[in-house]
Structure 1
Amino acid sequence: MYIGNIIIPIKIILLNHFFYDIWEHVKSRYLFKNISSKGFQNLPVLSVTQDKGVIYRDSLDIDIKYDSSTLKNYKLVQPGDFIISLRSFQGGFETSYLTGITSPAYTIFNFIDNQSQNHMFWQYLFKRKNFINSLKKVTFGIRDGKAISFSQFGDVKVEYPDFGEQKHIAITLNKIDDAIQLHERKCEELALIKKALLQKLFPKKDEIKPEVRYENFSDAWEQRKLGEVVEMFNGDRGYNYPKDSELISEGIPFINAGDLKNGQIDLKNCKKISREKFNQLSGAKIRQGDILYCLRGTLGKNAIVKFNEGTVASSLVDIRPKTINGIYLFIILNSDIEYRQRILNDEGAAQPNLSVRNLAKFIIPVPKTKEQQKIGDFFNQIDTLITLHQCKLKKLRQLKKFLLQNMFI
Structure 2
Amino acid sequence: DWEQRKLVDLVDRVTRKNQDLVSELPLTISAQYGLIDQNEFFDKRVASKDVSGYYLIENGEFAYNKSTSTDAPWGAIKRLDRYKNGVLSTLYIVFGIKENNPVDSDFLVSYYSTNLWHKGIHEIAAEGARNHGLLNIAPADFFETKLMIPQDIEEQKKIGKYFEELERLITLHQRKCEETKTLKKYMLQKMFPQNGHSVPEIRFSGFTEDWEQRKFADFTWDAGKRNKEDLDLEPYAITNEHGFIRQRDAHDDFGYMKDTDRKAYNIVQPNSFAYNPARINVGSIGYYKGVENVIVSSLYEVFQTDNYVNDRFLWHWLKSDEFPRWIEKLQEGSVRLYFYYDKLCECQLYMPSLEEQEKIATFLDDLDHLITLHQHKCEELQNIKKFMLKNMFI
Q: Give the structure 2 partner of residue 369 of structure 1.
A: 354
Could you tell me which of 319, 323, 331 is aligned with 1:334?
Answer: 319
1:142 matched residue in structure 2: 130
Q: Distance in 1 between matches of 2:349 and 2:334?
A: 26
Q: Distance in 2 between matches of 1:64 and 1:395?
A: 36
Larger CA deviation: 102-111 vs 354-363: 354-363
Percent identity, aligned pairs only? Answer: 25
- Aligned partner of 1:37 among 16, 38, 54: 16
Would you say the 8 A contact 2:17–2:56 is kept in 1?
yes
Residue pair 2:274, 2:300 contacting (<8 A) in 1 also: yes
Structure 2 segments unaligned to the other structure (5+ residues): none
Shift of 1:317: 3.0
Alignment of 1:215-234 (within 5 A): 215-233=205-223
TM value normalised by structure 1: 0.79
What is the aligned partner in structure 2 of residue 296 from structure 1? 278
- The partner residue of 2:141 within 152, 160, 175 is 152
Q: 1:382 to 1:92 in 2, by over 3 A?
A: same
Aligned residues: 373
Q: Taking structure 1 as reference, are residues 297 and 78 closer, same or farther at Cα in structure 2, changes over 3 Å only? A: same
Looking at structure 2, the residues matched to 282 and 206 of structure 1 have their Cα atoms a distance apart, in angstroms, of 42
1:357 aligns with 2:342: yes
Higher mean alpha-carbon deviation, 187-196 vs 124-133, is at 124-133
Point out the more displaced range, 322-331 or 312-321.
312-321
* Equivalent residue number for residue 302 of structure 2: 318
| Counterpart AA for 2:143 | G
Larger mean Cα displacement after TM superposition, 265-274 or 212-221: 265-274
* Pair 1:286–1:136, CA change in 2 (3 A): farther
CA RMSD across the alignment: 3.2
Deviation at 1:331, TM superposition (A): 0.5
Tell me the secondary structure at the aligned position of residue 189 of structure 1.
helix
Choose the corresponding residue for 1:54, options 35, 45, 54: 35
Aligned residues of 1:209 and 1:220 also touching (Cα < 8 A): yes
Counterpart amino acid of residue 131 in structure 2: R
The answer to which of 40-49 and 182-191 deviates more is 40-49
- SS of the residue corresponding to residue 36 of structure 2 reads strand
Q: How far apart are the structure 2 equivalents of 1:295 and 1:135?
A: 51
CA drift at 1:64: 4.0
In 2, are the aligned partners of 1:25 and 1:160 still within 8 Å (CA)? yes
Q: Is the 8 A contact 2:301 2:340 kept in 1?
A: no
**Residues 216 and 85 of structure 1: is their aligned pair in 2 closer, same or farther, counting only changes over 3 Å?**
same
- The structural deviation recorded for 1:305 is 1.8
- Map 1:36-115 onto structure 2 (within 5 A): 36-45=15-24, 46-50=26-30, 51-57=32-38, 61-64=43-46, 66-68=48-50, 71-87=51-67, 90=73, 91-97=75-81, 98-112=84-98, 114-115=100-101
Deviations 1:203-227, CA, capped at 9 Å, x for gaps: 1121111122233322222222224
Equivalents in 1 of 2:174, 2:273: separation in Å? 28
- Look up the SS of the partner of 1:261 in the other structure: coil
TM-score by length of 2: 0.82
In 1, Cα distance between the equivalents of 2:28 and 2:61?
A: 12
Farther-moved stretch of structure 1 (260-269 vs 146-155): 260-269
